[in-house]
Homo-oligomer: A and B are copies of this chain.
Amino acid sequence: MEELDISEVARRSGLPPSTLRFYEEKGLIASAGRRGLRRQFDAGVLDRLALIALGRAAGFSLDEIAPMLAPDGRPRIDRRTLEAKAEALDETIRRLTAMRDGLRHAAACPAPSHMECPTFRRILRAAASGVFAARGEATRRRR
């Protein structure tokens, strides 16, 4: 089977070598051996990396992803886990949607000061009472 140098995997996956080493250390991927110092990976690692990216995009942590990627290579993912994550995403989406609408209103609102806008005050109350619940996971951006 085709073997790829770590730099090749980095190039094809778009991930820096440091991340690949980090993933290996975490047991998310495995190198097929070394050529001198250099790690060689077999080509299937690219699928694994795509699965990892997918899991991350869906909101799973690396520690959650690890057990889903069985040692063999084929993903073993419980459908209930997926449904649960979909549910969680749905909840997040609802919150963010409400937030976005609120922001948009505030941006367009004709009231001289935001504090005088009834809609703004309503959102404000919602945010204040939501202190216990979700805290700031909205727009954590790309690095």
A contact residues vs B (CB 8 Å cutoff): 13-15, 46-47, 49-51, 53-54, 56-59, 74-75, 77, 79-80, 82-83, 85-86, 88-90, 92-93, 95-97, 99-100, 102-104, 106-108, 113-115, 123-125, 127-128, 130-143
CB-CB under 8 A from A79, the residues of chain B are 106-108
| Chain A binding surface, main DSSP class | helix
Does the CB pair B138–A142 fall under 8 Å? Answer: no
Does the CB pair A93–B100 fall under 8 Å? Answer: yes
CA distance A133 to B15 in the complex (A): 11
CB-CB under 8 A from A127, the residues of chain B are 50, 53-54, 56-57
Min CB distance A82 to B, Å, is: 4
CA distance A106 to B51 in the complex (A): 13
CA distance A47 to B125 in the complex (A): 9
Does the CB pair B89–A51 fall under 8 Å? Answer: no
CA distance A99 to B83 in the complex (A): 12
Does the CB pair B54–A123 fall under 8 Å? Answer: yes
- Cross-chain contact of A134 among B93, B108, B134, B142 (Cβ < 8 A): B142
Q: A13-B131, A89-B103 are in contact. Are A140 and B140 (CB under 8 A)?
A: yes
Ordered nearest first, which 6 A-B pairs have the shortest CB separation? Answer: A59-B138, A59-B139, A50-B128, A54-B127, A137-B140, A56-B136
